Structure 1
Amino acid sequence: MTESASVVESAPPKPPVRATEERTRAFLAALESKDLAQLENTLHPDATLTIPLAPSGDPEPFGRFEGKEQVLGYFRGITEIMARIEFADLRVSVTADAATSFVQAKGNFTTPDDRPYPNVYVLRADWSDGKLIAVEEYANPVTFAKHFGVPIG
Structure 2
Amino acid sequence: MSTAEIRAHSIEAALAYLDAFESGDVEKMSDVLTADVVHTLAMSFDGGVEPSMVFVGRDEVLGFFRGMLPQVSRRDVIDRRVTVSADGDVVFVEAVGDAVLADSGAPYRNVYVFKFECADGRVRRLTEYANPVSAHKALNVPLG
TM-score by length of 1: 0.86
Q: Answer yes or no: is 1:147 the counterpart of 2:101.
A: no
Q: Deviations over 1:93-129 (max 9, x none)?
A: 1111111100100111111121110000000001122
2: distance between equivalents of 1:150 and 1:79?
Answer: 17
- Over aligned residue pairs, what C-alpha RMSD do you find? 1.3
Kindly, what percent of the aligned residue pairs are identical? 36
Tell me the equivalent position of 2:26.
Answer: 36
1: distance between equivalents of 2:10 and 2:119?
Answer: 10
Higher Cα Rg, which structure: 1
Tell me the equivalent position of 1:4.
Answer: none
Q: Answer yes or no: is 1:63 the counterpart of 2:53.
A: yes
Tell me the equivalent position of 1:51.
Answer: 41
Tell me the equivalent position of 1:94.
Answer: 84
2: distance between equivalents of 1:19 and 1:43?
Answer: 13
TM-score by length of 2: 0.91
Q: Secondary structure at the match of 2:138?
A: helix
How far 1:147 moved relative to its partner?
A: 1.6
Tell me the equivalent position of 1:11.
Answer: none
Greater RCO (CA < 8 Å, at least 6 residues apart): 2
How far 1:76 moved relative to its partner?
A: 2.0
Tell me the equivalent position of 1:7.
Answer: none
Looking at secondary structure, tell me which structure has more strand per residue: 2
Q: Pick which of 17-26 and 41-50 moved more.
A: 17-26
Q: Answer yes or no: is 1:106 the counterpart of 2:112.
A: no
The unaligned stretches of length 5 or more in structure 2 are none
